[in-house]
Amino acid sequence: MAFQLLQKDPGTQARLGRYETAHGTIETPVFMPVGTQATVKAMRPDELKAMGASIILGNTYHLFLRPGHRLIEELGGLHRFMNWQGPILTDSGGYQVFSLAKMCKLSESGVVFQSHLDGSSHLLSPELAIEIQEALGSDIMMVLDECLPYPSTHETVAKSLGLTVDWARRCLEAKRRDDNSLFAIVQGGVFHDLRRECAERLLELESKPSADGRPRTFDGIAVGGLSVGEPMELAYDTVGDLAPRLPETRPRYLMGVGMPQDIVTCIGLGIDMFDCVVPTRSARHGLLFTPKGRLYIKRAEFLRDSRPIDENCPCYTCKNYSRAYLRHLSLSKEVLSAVLNTIHNLHYFLNLLTQARLAIRAGDYAGFQRRFFSEYQTGETRVPQP
């Protein structure tokens, strides 16, 4: 498992990199489609590969509850189970501390979850988080962390920091496999001093050998706890201060931030990896992405519109279907609506990252940003909730 920094953009902090994993190479910056329950909703693995997806996500918490990590291990691991042969990153379950806050309780031992499936209680410890991810066969594992909501006080975030760092230490000590990576997660809310402190304390863990004498190293550094309700200007400010302080020779992953304008901005701040449910969730609700902004396909104005979503888009959906037909499918709640809309949205996001990599390679990422924002209008349409 190795990351190679290939090039830095002269006018921004944007970086071009390559990350080698046991299941393939990842060119960065990269967008990772989310497959929470061992599937990217409405998509076949061969379709994802054909449109250029190089890595996808699974979720430790959900796969632990159903169908169970030991069953997946028995059946050959997550790659074979879901028939995806490329790299897989698995979240540790830390985000569920935020999203399922009313159903969990934290202690030094870990997180006690009340299952959203049957109400049963489960303790997810740092050690179990690693055990689950190693059983799944993840290429990139995440440490267990505490993700706080916004706003949280400086005192609350500072207290949480100790828990996150200690859990990261225990994850490092629990790691047994050598054929996968482990990423640390920097927390600290929107407080620059706490973000810097967390990063420093996480890296200090590497100077101490594990109990069995093995060296301990984080293969990448993630920035967690953003896009949890704060204004994005605050998130940009936080990332802009932190990213240059992270190790240059390791990939930097901004967790859960995935609107196009956020991705384009944060690549310029030095981030390499992104994930978000926005393209797939939006597709299921009729919200489509184009270079000019977002398009809500259910609007009456598209009743007789024979044009594709985007006349310049080469995706399967745009080459074969009209806005009028896609509107009909969405209003009729047809399964095909989610399929065709998801194909287009994921193609848009993956192509956006391809164009970003080309711009960095050409040494003109600042120009790419200017061109993107001169055309893209975020509008007022909100991403619908499931």
Rounded Cα distance, 188 and 199, in Å:
9
181-186, strands of its sheet edge to edge? 30-32, 273-275, 252-254, 220-223, 181-186, 140-142, 88-91, 56-59
Eight-state DSSP code of residue 384: P
For residue 45, the tally of other CB atoms under 10 A from its CB is 18
Rounded Cα distance, 63 and 353, in Å:
28
275 flagged as catalytic:
yes
Catalytic hit among 9, 91, 139, 262: 91
Tell me the pairing of strands 104-106 and 111-114: antiparallel
Quick check: helix, strand or coil at residue 303?
coil
Question: Do 323 and 260 contact (CB within 8 A), yes or no?
Answer: no
Catalytic hit among 145, 219, 262, 275: 275
Question: Do 6 and 16 contact (CB within 8 A), yes or no?
Answer: yes
Q: Residue type for 300, please?
A: A
Number of helices and strands in the chain (H, E)? 15, 16
The per-residue b/e assignment along 259-296, b for 16 or more CB within 10 angstroms, e otherwise, is bbebbbbbbbbbbbbbbbbbbbbbbbbbbbbbbeebbb
178 flagged as catalytic:
no
Catalytic residues: 91, 275
